[in-house]
Structure formats: structure tokens, C-alpha cells
Amino acid sequence: MDLPSASPLVLRGRRFDASSPAVMAIVNRTRDSFFSGNRHADLESAKAAFLVAVEQGADLVDVGGVRAGQEGEVVDADEEIRRVVPFLQWARSEHPDVVLSLDTWRSEVAREAGGAVDLVNDTWAGHDRDLVHVASAISAGYVISHTGGLPPRTDPVDVSYGDDPLDVVRDVVEALWHGARAAERAGIPKERVLVDPTLDFGKTTAHSLEVLRHTADVVALGYPVLQAISRKDFVGESLALPAEERLEGSLAATAVAAWLGATVFRTHDVRATRRALDMVATIRGDRPPRLAVRGVPRGHRANGS
């Protein structure tokens, strides 16, 4: 099989690639996130969620303080800083080896977080043009996203990329290519530049499904690929299910993206995603089975690790 080859991501001395895809856990310091199972406005709740994610196998933890969509409360930069920066500082002191990601589109928030973060997850495609430069200044990696030109907290309405279903794929690939090159020019090493097709953002369900099918085209850009699939609307609309019932659909989409070469997966469900990714990596041949027992004579059984 000629499978897409995942480009490695290197953060905090750790390398993530096809043999060791990364699970990015989500901790939302909000009261209004679309998935009720990940609302951690209370500090103790957020700390508990972080510790559980690490125990279940998270490689990265992505911390955000503002709901992505236009519904919900208004959160200014000062409030966002109060929600995320002290928490990130606590997480860094408690687990210095865990890769910490900041989900923000505001440069002032990233500047305040400073050395507490290893990755700046800019989910709104460089809306704040200073953000990539702040990420470079604090020696953090950077996520390039695709939103179809929409500003922060905007839900897509009557979005069109052209008559050809592949037009959305072309738009995604071109935008991510230019964004990634700009991040390198800003001083961020290539192995710390993540590209994210950003399913749902600026896209209908049909668009997101088309882009997901063409994950390999994004992988071909030569940068590590982040897929943020977990419980999103394209999963819900595909199966006619609410966010609370989208786990199986999310895992199916995750397996497809992993098979096609994505490296990092942002998820609300760490343990299930960890196991799904490890299984896909093993089927692809990138990761050996952890046990060798079946069909092996007693006394010759070995640990596959």
C-alpha cells in the first residue's frame, strides 16, 4: 500500500508522527461550549479535567476561554486572560512534560501566556496578524487554520467555494500552504507549524466531508496535520445526532483521517481516541502490536513493545 506519509511535529522535545500520533485533549474554561461535557468554568473542575486527560493518554492539552461559535457570552481579552493564563501556569508547574496549547485568536492573550505554552492554536486563520509573531517570540509552535475568510465567532451561512465539490479542497490547501510559509518566515521552525483544515469553520457539512476525504492532499503540503473532528456538527448532521451522542461518528472520522496521514487529533474523548489512533497506526504498519501472544508457543511469547 502506498499510504500518505505524516510529517512529524516536534514540541517540548517530543516527536509525534505516524508511529506515535498525538492526542490533543480539550479543556474549555467556559460555561457555554457546544458540548456540555467539556465546560470547565470552575477552576477545580478544569484542574480535574486536565489530570484525567493526562491519565488517559493525552499528549497535548488545548486550553481555551471563549466559545468558537457566535452563540454564547461575550468574552473580552481581559476576561479570556483571566480564564486561561493562571490555569496554564498551574498546568505547567504540575506537569512540566505535557505539551500545552493555547486556543486563542488574540495576540495579547498569547503574550500573557508566554512561556507557559508550547503551541498557539489560532483557530481563526490569522485574524490577528500579530499572533504568529507573538508565537514566534515565545518560542511556541503555531496552528494554521482555514475559515473561508470568516472573522472570529462567525457561523457559516450560504457559504460557497464554487460549483465543483473539489473547490473547497483547493481553497483549503492553498490557504494552509500560504499560512504555513508565512509562519516559517515569522521564525517558527517547520516541525512546529501545524496545518488544520478546520472542519465546520466556514464550511457546510458537505464541505467538511469533502475536505476530510482529501486529508492526504493536506498531508502532501509537508507539514504535520491537525484534525479537530471531535463531536463537530458535520458528524452530528451526518448521523442526525446531538453533540452528546457523536462519539462513534467522531472515532470513525478520526480513523479515516489517521489512515490518510494526519498527525494530531483534538478530542473531547481522550481514551477512546488514543486507542483508535494506536489501532490505525498498527494496521498501517507504523506501530507494532504491543503483545505477541496469539499462536506463539508458551515460553516464546514476547511483549511487542
**Quick one: pLDDT at residue 289?**
95
Residue 156 lies in a domain: yes
> Is the pLDDT higher at 71 or at 5?
5
* Domain of residue 259, residue span: 17-303
**Looking at per-residue confidence, does 298 or 78 come out higher?**
78
Domain with 179 in it: what CATH number? Answer: 3.20.20.20
Instruction: Examine the pLDDT at 10 and tell me if it is beyond 50.
Output: yes
Q: Show the CA angle centred on residue 35, arms to residues 56 and 53, nearest 5°.
A: 15
Q: Is the residue at 230 inside a domain?
A: yes
pLDDT reported for residue 279: 98
pLDDT digits (tens, 9 = 90+) for 214-249: 999 999 999 999 999 999 999 999 999 999 999 999
CB count in 10 Å sphere of residue 35 = 17
> Which tens digits make up the pLDDT trace of 44-67?
999 999 999 999 999 999 999 998
Domains: count for the chain: 1
**What does pLDDT average to over the chain?**
93
Does 279 fall in a domain?
A: yes
11 part of a folded domain: no
In this prediction the pTM is 0.92
Residue 34 lies in a domain: yes
